[in-house]
Amino acid sequence: MAQALEGIKVVDFSWVLAGPALTRYLADFGAEVVLVESSGHPDIMRTSYPFRDDEPGLNRSTLWANFHSNKYGIALDLDTAEGIDVAKRLVSRADIVVENFIPGTMDRWGIGYGELAKVKPDLIMVSISLYGQTGPYARRGGWGSFAEGMSGFWNLIGWSDRGPSSYQSVIGDALVPFFGLNAVLAALDFRRRTGKGQQIDLSQLDVCSYLLAPLLQDYLVNGVEASRSSNRSPGSSPHGVFPCAGDDEWLAIAVMNDDEWQSFCAAIGAPEWRDDPRFRTFAARKSNEDELERLIDARTATWSADRLMYVLQKAGVPSGALRNGRTMNSDPQLQHREMFSWNEHPEIGQVSSFGTPFRLPLTPPTSRTAAPCLGEHTEWVCTQLLGMSSEEFIDLLNKGVFE
Amino acid sequence: MLQDHRALDLTDGEGQLCGRILGDLGVDVIRVERPGGDDSRRVGPFHKNVVHPEKSLWWYTLNANKRGITLDLTKRDGRDLFKRLVKGADFVIESYGIGRMVEMGLGYDVLREVDRGVILTSITPFGQTGPYQGFKATELTILALGGFLYGIGDRDRPPVKPNYPLAKIASAVHAVGGTLLADQYRHATGEGQHVDVSSQAGVPWFTQNAIYWWQTEHRLLLRSGRAFVRRPDLDARAIWPCKDGHVLFQIHGGVVGITSNKAMARWMAEEGFGDERFHGFDWDRLDLAKTSQEELAALEDVVAPFLMSKTTEELAAGAEQRKILLGRIDGIRSLSKNPQLASRDLWTSVEHRELGASLTYPSYFFRSSEVSCGIRRRAPLIGEHNDEVYGEIGLSKEEILAYSQAGVI
Question: Shortest Cα distance from A323 to chain B (angstroms)?
Answer: 4
Q: Within an 8 Å CB–CB cutoff, is residue B129 touching chain A?
A: yes
Pick the catalytic residue from A12, A43, A173, A206.
A173
Q: Which of B127, B160, B331 sits opposite A359 (nearest CB)?
A: B127
Interface contact flag, A225 B162, Cβ < 8 Å: no
Q: Is B49 on the interface with A (CB under 8 A)?
A: yes
Q: Do B1 and A190 touch (CB under 8 A)?
A: yes
Do the beta carbons of residue A4 and residue A361 sit within 8 Å?
Answer: no
Interface predicted TM-score of the whole assembly (ipTM), two decimals = 0.97
Question: CB atoms < 10 A from the CB of A23, how many?
Answer: 30
Evaluated on CA atoms A179, A180, A181, A184, the torsion sign reads positive
Q: Which residues from chain A sit within 8 angstroms of residue B200, using beta carbons?
A: 333-334
Mutate to test the interface with A, among B95, B237, B312, B340 (most CBs of A within 10 A): B340
Give contacts of B 321-360 with A, CB under 8 A. 323, 325, 327-336, 338-341, 343-344, 346, 357, 359-360
Quick one: which of B130, B350, B306, B42 has its CA closest to A331? Answer: B130
Using DSSP bridges, classify how beta strands A32-37 and A124-129 pair: parallel, antiparallel or unpaired.
unpaired
Contact B341, B347 (CB under 8 A): yes
CA distance B70 to B37: 7
Q: How far is A398 from chain B (nearest CA, A)?
A: 29
Residue-level pLDDT, tens digit, chain B, 409 residues: 999 999 999 999 999 999 999 999 999 999 999 999 999 999 999 999 999 999 999 999 999 999 999 999 999 999 999 999 999 999 999 999 999 999 999 999 999 999 999 999 999 999 999 999 999 999 999 999 999 999 999 999 999 999 999 999 999 999 999 999 999 999 999 999 999 999 999 999 998 889 999 999 999 999 999 998 888 889 999 999 999 999 999 998 877 788 999 999 999 999 999 999 999 999 998 888 889 999 999 999 999 999 999 999 999 999 999 999 999 999 999 999 999 999 999 999 999 999 999 999 999 999 999 998 889 999 999 999 999 999 999 999 999 999 999 999 9
User: What is d(CA A308, CA A188) in angstroms, rounded to the nearest whole number?
Assistant: 48
Chain A residues within an 8 Å CB radius of B45: 214, 218, 222, 224
Q: Chain B: give the shortest CA distance to residue A355, in Å.
A: 8
Residue type, A67: F
| Exposed e or buried b per residue across A177-207, where buried means at least 16 C-beta atoms within 10 angstroms of its C-beta | bbbbbbbbbbbbbbbeeeeebbbbbbbbbbb
Torsion of CA B302, B305, B306, B307, to 10 degrees: 110
**Catalytic status, residue A43:** no
Indicate the angle between helix axes A144-151 and A172-194, nearest 10 degrees: 100
Of B158, B162, B335, the CB nearest to A241: B158
- Which residues of A, range 88-117, sit inside 8 Å of B by Cβ? 113
* Chain A interface disruption, residue of B367, B371, B373, B378, most A CBs within 10 A: B367
Residue of B nearest to A349 (CA): B216
CA distance B132 to chain A (A): 6
Q: Which residues of A touch B227 (CB under 8 A)?
A: 166
- Asked if the bond preceding B45 is cis, omega within 30° of 0, the reply is yes
